[in-house]
């Protein structure tokens, strides 16, 4: 069984600095940062950090909302820049549930969904009966990685163009799927905007 221990103060401070600078929506969240000598290979990929929501018993005993596990086998091989990026990614996975947008239909409140059946959310944080935010763990997506690359400076205009082209569009559909009359040149112009 893997050993776990409290992360050194240096790692906890670095995580707090990244949280304060880039993840202000997590201000009320408490992070439990621990280290593990457990397996660093998951699904045939090298993993540096894991982000989990604390269970009710962990929250009760530690007072933390999220558990960020540093896998020391990988951590020891990373440069300072890579460690910064790994901590940023761990924080990107920490999220808060938002209140779904609703509409009244026949006297009942119904949750609004988009054309693909996905729930549409407001900008308001969802809270429990005591007024505490309802936390969640985000799945990694393209937007997460573009944000991290933009912050880190290892970034180019092509990435920004891709983000703008995909804004508001479902990722499973091609950009011009509904317009067979779009030429490659027109599509390039759209992407360059």
Question: pLDDT digits over 64-90, tens only?
Answer: 999 999 999 999 989 998 899 899 989
Report the chain's terminal Cα–Cα distance, integer Å.
53
Instruction: Give dist(CA 165, CA 17) in Å, integer.
Output: 32
Listed residue (93, 95, 97) closest to 126, CA to CA: 97
Higher pLDDT, 125 or 190: 125
Listed residue (98, 96, 75, 84) closest to 148, CA to CA: 84
Instruction: Give dist(CA 36, CA 5) in Å, integer.
Output: 7
Position 54 confidence tier, pLDDT thresholds 50, 70, 90: very high
pLDDT score at 139 = 82
**pLDDT tens, 3-53?**
999 999 999 999 999 999 999 989 999 999 999 998 877 777 778 899 999
Asked if 59 contacts 29 with a C-beta cutoff of 8 angstroms, the reply is no
- pLDDT at 2 > cutoff 90: no
**pLDDT tens, 155-177?**
445 555 666 666 665 544 333 33
Long-range contacts of residues 175-181, Cβ cutoff 8 Å, at least 24 apart: none
C-alpha angle with apex 22: 87 to 72, nearest 5 degrees? 5
Higher pLDDT, 99 or 153: 99
């Amino acid at each position: 069984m893997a050993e776990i221990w409290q992360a050194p103060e240096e790692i906890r401070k670095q995580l707090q600095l990244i949280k304060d600078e880039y993840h202000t929506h997590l201000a009320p969240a408490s992070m439990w940062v621990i280290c593990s000598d457990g397996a660093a290979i998951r699904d045939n990929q090298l993993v540096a950090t894991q982000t989990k929501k604390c269970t009710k018993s962990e929250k009760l005993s530690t007072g933390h909302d999220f558990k960020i596990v540093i896998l020391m086998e990988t951590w020891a091989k990373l440069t300072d820049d890579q460690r910064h990026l790994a901590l940023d990614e761990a924080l990107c996975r920490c999220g808060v549930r938002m209140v779904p947008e609703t509409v009244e239909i026949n006297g009942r409140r119904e949750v609004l969904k988009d054309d693909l059946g996905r729930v549409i959310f407001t900008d308001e944080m969802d809270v429990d009966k005591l007024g505490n935010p309802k936390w969640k763990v985000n799945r990694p997506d393209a937007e997460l990685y573009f944000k991290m690359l933009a912050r880190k400076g290892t970034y180019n205009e092509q990435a920004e163009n891709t983000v703008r082209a995909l804004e508001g569009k479902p990722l499973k559909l091609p950009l011009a799927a509904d317009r067979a009359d779009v030429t490659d040149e027109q599509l390039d112009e759209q992407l360059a905007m």
